[in-house]
A and B are shown apart, each in its own frame.
Chain A
């Protein structure tokens, strides 16, 4: 048993380094997509203290809108612009109809409201688009669909071009987001509202505008995530389930930290893949990805309740 746990996995890694590289690559791709979903949660939580349960269904809704518009004969890139428009309208509607009447209510009420948004979007999406699995318009968007075959250490490493594209686009999105939050007036306003809502309001920052903005940015992230995941296995309501994988990312990285979401996502993506391949499958019968991330997050919470990068919240009583 000692050998199987502590020696054999590392022997496997050394004996087949190309396979190890493949595992790391797959982990990186999954991780960056987890990080994207987690970013949507973090942005909204930072600015409004709302845990947005609807982020997963927003991914589905954005992807379905995109392929739905394309099915109506709209050119692919116009579909992207129109989908962004739909996500903006959704952000405005959520702020006006759901959030504004609940300003000042306890956090749990706002959280419950996002569950309501989830249920509404599921029903509305199914009525408009149907529940069938749809093909993502990958090639139409100019995303390459072939493979890059490399032969490191005399072995084989397969890199899907659409995965490479997803990683690059996600990285650009994260950089863009960081620049926006740190270098623009609106970005600083979002951070200010998250840091001290009362002070932010007192200097004239509009809570309504900021909420619309962060929900819209979460919508943009949802669209990018939907395209990336949809290109892998089609667009269906099953995509929503993947969003739950962002929960341990948030627990690990902290609810308020953009860096935490990114690093937490990458950590979980890579570690769960390594554990599954070298320990889970040989020793536990596989399918450890279902629980590994939660156990890892739980261990982190035992030592750092605020997550690896979260801020310790001290409330005066």
Chain B
């Protein structure tokens, strides 16, 4: 009997503890991040994940979370592997209010699942460009810009705003041989046909990322006027070192926003001067948010980052991405009048975001991202961006604010979304929303 009493007491204590833990869980919004801090892509993943994580930690420490409820910002390691990413999605979807797949390959895999599971995908600046069409992709968001936006802004920059000036020129498109690298091809091929320039796609296999001599020999033989790079992870450093080696003029070498990582350029230092990258975000080291991060996260020793990383482009972008998520949560909380929102509520928040200059100033993030607005029809927001240039030690702004060519991109997004829905029929469509209105 005595033994039974002890067991009962232990069971009671455990149930109280478990109850407490359960209560804690309901007092936090579960916003998992399908991160990759390991594997061949870790070098570019880590600063982004650190920025995201630090912003969430700061909100929890400074404001008690968002709207009075903390963020449970848990990471599930994918190693940028699509199969592991899908496993992470399945593992976290139960109580999550959002999924952040962090890879175009994973995004494409979970895209159909989110219609069934009714959970929003947040893929800022990556994923499938036609996800912009919110009428078809009800649960997918890639604000503040798509890959087609990035390609459009790069072409605008190198042509000085007049794409017809590219007529007769050759552009080598050096890309990772992966869904991410192939994503801008439809847009670039259309622009090549419309404006008379020659596009030469040059794929880089995953095993060849650090050994691109064949690709750069091809570039040497082609003598292109420009090289546009869609690189990620170890591919960026591999390409930049080969460009230096083959003496390709750096000023004619432009990367996408995932190919502008300070650590990749540090490998070549001064020799990389003039290399450029489009970017939807900018580091602003004296922004008020940085002081709050220092006070609430860095000084407490809670950050996984370091000073050098915090001054870079990718860390700053991680902050912006978490800001987008927290603002969507706040928007949904305000609209629905409750702090404990669910995935469907967050979906409303994500498609009614309005990041204005005033709001950025309130957040202490002026200049870190351009203002943008989403609607039910436009899940991208198309904020535009800037060209950043490597000055030998860091990236500096090298252009005014650029905007993508929405007149060309929007019909392509709608057409691409329609084709996707037809290929994956029956595909649920939000009939109450007009994509064209986006």
Binding site for B on A (CB under 8 A): 16, 19, 22-23, 26, 29-30, 122, 126, 130-133, 135, 147, 158, 160, 229, 232-234, 236-242, 244-245, 272-273, 276-277, 280-281, 285-287, 289-290
**Are the C-beta atoms of B266 and A19 separated by less than 8 Å?**
no
Shortest B322–chain A CB gap in Å is 20
**Are the C-beta atoms of A233 and B246 separated by less than 8 Å?**
no
**Are the C-beta atoms of B38 and A285 separated by less than 8 Å?**
no
**Are the C-beta atoms of A126 and B203 separated by less than 8 Å?**
no
- Name B246's contact: one of A16, A158, A234, A237 (CB within 8 Å): A158
Chain A binder among B141-149, B208-216, B324-332, B375-383: B208-216
Contacts known (A19-B221, A30-B213); A242 close to B238, Cβ less than 8 A: no
**Are the C-beta atoms of A133 and B247 separated by less than 8 Å?**
no
**Are the C-beta atoms of B234 and A126 separated by less than 8 Å?**
no
User: B206 to chain A: which residues have CB within 8 Å?
Assistant: 241, 290
Residues of B in contact, count (CB < 8 Å) = 44
Given A133-B264, A233-B237, A290-B177, 16 other A-B contacts at CB below 8 A? A19-B221, A130-B46, A131-B46, A132-B43, A133-B234, A158-B245, A229-B211, A232-B210, A232-B211, A233-B210, A234-B264, A241-B40, A241-B207, A273-B217, A287-B204, A290-B207
**Are the C-beta atoms of B38 and A237 separated by less than 8 Å?**
yes
Closest to B205 in A: A290
Q: Does B263 contact A (CB under 8 A)?
A: yes
**Are the C-beta atoms of A289 and B203 separated by less than 8 Å?**
no
A272 to B264, CA, bound (A): 27
Interface residues of B in 225-272 (CB under 8 A from A): 233-234, 237-238, 241-242, 245-247, 263-264, 266-267
A280 to B217, CA, bound (A): 13
Shortest A250–chain B CB gap in Å is 16
The A interface is mostly helix, strand or loop, or mixed, namely helix
**Are the C-beta atoms of A242 and B210 separated by less than 8 Å?**
yes
Shortest A240–chain B CB gap in Å is 8
- Name B218's contact: one of A29, A130, A131, A281 (CB within 8 Å): A281
Binding site for A on B (CB under 8 A): 37-47, 177, 201-211, 213-215, 217-218, 220-221, 233-234, 237-238, 241-242, 245-247, 263-264, 266-267, 309
A26 to B212, CA, bound (A): 10
**Are the C-beta atoms of A26 and B213 separated by less than 8 Å?**
yes
User: B237 to chain A: which residues have CB within 8 Å?
Assistant: 133, 233-234, 236
Shortest B266–chain A CB gap in Å is 6
User: B266 to chain A: which residues have CB within 8 Å?
Assistant: 135
User: B215 to chain A: which residues have CB within 8 Å?
Assistant: 286
Closest to A132 in B: B43
Could you name 19 residue pairs across A and B whose Cβ atoms are closer than 8 Å?
A26-B214, A30-B213, A122-B38, A131-B38, A131-B45, A132-B43, A132-B46, A233-B211, A234-B241, A236-B40, A236-B237, A237-B40, A238-B40, A240-B40, A242-B210, A276-B214, A277-B217, A286-B203, A290-B177
